[in-house]
DNA sequence: ACCTTTGTGGAGTGATTAGTCAATCTTGTT
DNA sequence: AACAAGATTGACTAATCACTCCACAAAGGT
């Protein structure tokens, strides 16, 4: 087992449960089954560990998001795939999804350079812009549409986590939700 | 000036900037202009201070939410007023609004009894249920609609904070956003 | 076999922090 | 004025925490 990965796994689990400052590095090391010093061998500071975890998770999410989008897909198909992929991922990686939200609401967010954040959002904003140009989407500010979709996904995923629906009911609700937001922005 | 209030003000400002565990009680006391011991005279623990601040802000928000809702208002009018009030409040109390989100994403949320959370949401859920019964709203789960509206407000308010629109453009966007979510759920 | 590099361990440290406490000050009441 | 009750202070403490350091082990190249 890769100790570096074990440390990230342990950190994720504990951060989600106790918060960033609520979990001492010593407990992370213990949970990961490594010595205290080993943690600091891989991550020079606790802050570096938090940032590494965030970047790692963000990378996984981004990869999965686009995983079922094909080159020939229409804009509408691509939108739908990304929406559904994101929701699938959020449901299958609740801790990770929660961690990202938690991170975004923390002072650590300011440690991520602004350019990296815009770079992350760029593909989505470009798609939205293309949608507006093609008169598929309403002529609203890109960032506004992006913000609405993001929070729509967040709201839905929160509801899915809170309620306890059967898989097929979940699927139906996710599909309906997509139609709702799609109608909203087109 | 009321020292108790000064402590809450200082705590809010610092929590938003540095996070809960990132701000020592000593700094809160200093920022508030009171001695260390005074803080613990009013709040036995740091945790108690955080909870008191949350409850205080939540109370303000709830009051303002319903402030321009009149007894004779139709369901549609009431919905609209609450939506607009919430957004006004969020824009006029950005730190407070951010704090609430931050709190909701923190382990401290679990210290609020579940019954109090449901009690907070009850008036809204009741309104939604009435709307469904009257066939004004789509027949979807109450909590789902509630979740969608909440996150829609969150997304909009985040966009408004990030962008720098003129007051009248803001008003227009808020009004349009309301129409969008209203269309979505009716 | 020898050496270098990298990984691992865990006791130890200096700094920080939540919370205490006893003394002093303020305020209001009789 | 005398008293009581609460408010305020800030030095103090016990505990905790991020991080260091140095010894040792593995791995891998020559």
Mutate to test the interface with B, among A151, A152, A177 (most CBs of B within 10 A): A151
Closest approach of chain B CAs to the CA of A100, in angstroms?
10
Q: Do B159 and A147 touch (CB under 8 A)?
A: yes
Cα gap A86→A35, rounded to integer Å: 36
Q: What is the pLDDT of residues A28-83, one digit of tens each?
A: 999 999 999 999 999 999 999 999 999 999 999 999 999 888 888 888 999 999 99
Q: What is the pLDDT of residues B3-37, one digit of tens each?
A: 899 999 999 999 999 999 999 999 999 999 999 99
Cα gap B186→B184, rounded to integer Å: 6
Which residue in A has a C-alpha nearest to residue B99's C-alpha?
Answer: A105
Does nucleic acid strand D have an atom less than 7 angstroms from the CB of A167? Answer: no
Q: Please give the helix or strand (H or E) that residue B35 lies within, else none.
A: none
Q: What is the pLDDT of residues A85-121, one digit of tens each?
A: 999 999 999 999 999 999 999 999 999 999 999 999 9
Task: For chain A, give the secondary structure using H, E and C.
Answer: CCHHHHHHHHHHHHHHHHCCCCCCHHHHHHHHCCCHHHHHHHCCCHHHHHHHHHHHHHHHHHHHHCCCCCCCCCHHHHHHHHHHHHHHHHHHCHHHHHHHHHHHCCHHHHHCCHHHHHHHHHHHHHHHHHHHHCCCCCCCCHHHHHHHHHHHHHHHHHHHHHCCCCHHHHHHHHHHHHHHHHHHHC
Token pair, residue B117, equals 């959370």
Give the residue-averaged pLDDT of B104-118.
Answer: 95
Give the residue-averaged pLDDT of A128-157.
Answer: 94
Q: What pLDDT is stored for residue A73 in this prediction?
A: 87
Q: Do A22 and B18 touch (CB under 8 A)?
A: no
Cα gap B169→B171, rounded to integer Å: 5
Cα gap B104→B93, rounded to integer Å: 17
Place of tokens 């009171």: B34
Among the partner residues B18, B147, B158, nearest to A107 by beta-carbon distance: B18
pLDDT band at B70 (very low <50, low <70, confident <90, very high): confident
Q: Indicate the average pLDDT of chain B.
A: 94
Interface check for B19 against chain A (CB to CB < 8 A): the answer is yes
CB distance A93 to A100 below 8 Å: no
Q: What pLDDT is stored for residue A1 in this prediction?
A: 66
Asked whether the CA dihedral A54, A60, A62, A64 is positive or negative, the reply is negative
pLDDT band at A175 (very low <50, low <70, confident <90, very high): very high
Q: Indicate the average pLDDT of chain A.
A: 94
Among the partner residues A21, A154, A181, nearest to B22 by beta-carbon distance: A21
């Amino acid at each position: 087992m890769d100790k570096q990965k074990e440390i990230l796994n342990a950190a994720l689990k504990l951060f989600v449960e106790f918060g960033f400052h609520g979990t001492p590095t010593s407990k992370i090391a213990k949970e990961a089954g490594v010595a205290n010093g080993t943690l600091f061998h891989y991550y020079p500071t606790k802050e570096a560990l938090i940032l590494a975890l965030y970047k790692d998770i963000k990378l996984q999410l981004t990869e999965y998001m686009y995983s079922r989008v094909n080159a020939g897909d229409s804009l509408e198909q691509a939108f739908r795939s990304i929406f559904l992929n994101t929701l699938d991922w959020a449901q299958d990686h609740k801790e990770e999804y929660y961690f990202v939200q938690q991170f975004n609401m923390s002072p650590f967010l300011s440690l991520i350079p602004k350019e990296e954040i815009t770079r992350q959002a760029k593909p989505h904003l470009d798609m939205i812009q293309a949608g507006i140009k093609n008169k598929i989407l309403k002529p609203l500010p890109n960032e506004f549409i992006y913000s609405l979709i993001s929070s729509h996904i967040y709201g839905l995923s929160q509801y899915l986590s809170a309620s306890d629906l059967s898989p097929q009911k979940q699927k139906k609700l996710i599909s309906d939700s997509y139609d709702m937001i799609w109608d909203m922005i087109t």
